[in-house]
Amino acid sequence: MIAQPEKTCLDIKASLVQAGLFSDSSSDAGNTWRISPEPYFLSQEETTFFHELGPKLLQFYSVLNRFYLDSAKGNFHPWLAEYLDAGKPQELIDFGRMKRMRQALPGIIRPDVIPTENGFAVTELDSVPGGFGLTSSLMSLYEDPAWEMTGAGIPSLFHQMVESVSKEPSPNVAIVVSDEAKDYLSEMQYLGSLLKEKGVYVVHPKDLSFREEGLFLMHEEKWLRVDVLYRFFELFDLKNIPKSELLLYAAKKGRVVTTPPYKPWLEEKLSFAPFSHPALKADWEKALGSETFTALSHLIPETWILDSRPLPPYAVIPDLAIKGVPVREWEELYPMTQKEREMVVKPSGFSPESWGSRGVVVGHDVSSEVWQQVLTKGLAQFPDQPSILQKFL
């Protein structure tokens, strides 16, 4: 029991405000939320679940990456690459497929995990996640020795990650934060302040200088060569990123190691749809192994791509049914009751609307008119901007 819960909350708030991670009462900008005097407690079973989840999701990404590349070559179901490439510029697709980058995976992944009546569910994966700098700060503020923090040590783990991908033993690391991601700048600066002595710097894309030998940043009136670029900006936003072409060129020529890699198919929310597809079940199970496949099958909600192309008369949308009747056309979803439309529609990955839960619509929280409008819009935008339909758990 916390002796002075109100004082504890005020102390935590003051520390967060000082670090630039929380807005004080005089400001309307920045982050703000209710502060608890104690952390969220996990059972031993839940702690074990999260420790085991990471390797399973990393394996999912690895298999998805291999399936995609094989599909792009015509050695696997060709429609998989077709879906994952939908709406992406060809030059970015070609860049991501470069042989030298074939095995590259994101250095940090974050699942969106929600508790349900039947256990946890993973609704999507984020390979350019925010929050780990803020989480690191919060862990340092809940200091009661009786509390064992699960996942403590984020700064050192981040540095281990960039060291593991670097070609240099003591790399200079640039965490590059775009204007689109400015809401997360303060937490990246907090993380950078903890790792500054190890050569980690937080910069805007404009702060980087390109020379033929690589990328450089200015620190204490000296130009430092960047060995690892941690990309904290989304690929859909590349056209708005200053010097983005130079950053791509430096990565292409091996002048800098970039993580997450420039692989748009690993930043797609629709990646869960192929996992749900019955035609790929045996492929996933063989590649993942029965244990991981079974675990992920219980965690990943059924997901469909809103593909507006007509089906043959004898075809149905796999595993999608209303009152037990298989669905043949998306328009059959329009008159669904509030209970029947316990589903979520969201833009898939390569879109400004996919950042920070923008564009997400929960079917049973809106009117039937809005539900129909959302489905109609999602179908009309395919394939330039795909959307997905996912069961709400």
173 pLDDT more than 80: yes
Least confident of 4-8, 56-60, 80-84, 342-346: 4-8
74: which 2 tokens?
Answer: 């015509």
The predicted structure's pLDDT at residue 351 = 79
Any idea which fold 44-143+152-267 has? Answer: Rossmann fold (3.40.50)
Across the range 56-71, mean pLDDT stands at: 98
15 pLDDT more than 70: yes
The predicted structure's pLDDT at residue 89 = 94
Least confident of 17-26, 70-79, 164-173, 383-392: 17-26
Number of Cβ within 10 Å of residue 54's Cβ equals: 13
28 pLDDT more than 90: no
Least confident of 95-99, 148-152, 162-166, 286-290: 148-152
30 pLDDT more than 80: no
Residue type, 5: P
Strand 173-177 versus strand 200-203 pairing type: parallel
Across the range 372-377, mean pLDDT stands at: 96
Give the 3-state DSSP-derived string for the chain, with helices as H, strands as E and coil as C.
Answer: CCCCHHHHHHHHHHHHHHCCCCCCCCCCCCCCCCCCCCCCCCCHHHHHHHHHHHHHHHHHHHHHHHHHHHHHCCCCCHHHHHHHHCCCCHHHHHHHCCHHHCCCCCCCCEEEEEEECCEEEEEEEECCCCCHHHHHHHHHHCCCCCCCCCCCCHHHHHHHHHHHHCCCCCCCEEEEECCCCHHHHHHHHHHHHHHHHHCEEEECHHHCEEECCEEEEEECCEEEECCEEEEECCHHHHHHCCCHHHHHHHHHCCCCEEECCCCHHHHCHHHHHHHHCHHHHHHHHHHHCHHHHHHHHHHCCCEEECCCCCCCCCCCCCCCEECCEECCCHHHHCCCCCCCCCEEEEECCCCHHHHHHCCCEEHHHCCHHHHHHHHHHHHHHCCCCCEEEEECC
Residue-level length of the chain: 393
22 pLDDT more than 70: yes
Q: Give 209-218 pLDDT, tens digit per residue.
A: 999 999 999 9
Buried-state track 66-104, b at ≥16 Cβ within 10 A, e below 16: ebbbbbbeeebbeebbebbbbbbeeebbebbbeeeeeeb
Across the range 221-236, mean pLDDT stands at: 96
The predicted structure's pLDDT at residue 31 = 74
pTM of this structure? 0.93
The predicted structure's pLDDT at residue 25 = 62
Across the range 181-191, mean pLDDT stands at: 94
pLDDT band at 149; cut points 50, 70, 90: confident
Q: Give 231-269 pLDDT, tens digit per residue.
A: 999 999 899 999 999 999 999 999 999 999 999 999 999
The predicted structure's pLDDT at residue 1 = 55
Q: Per-domain residue ranges for the chain?
A: 44-143+152-267, 302-391
Upstream peptide bond of 383 is cis (omega within 30 degrees of 0): yes
pLDDT band at 26; cut points 50, 70, 90: low
Least confident of 32-41, 326-335, 337-346: 32-41
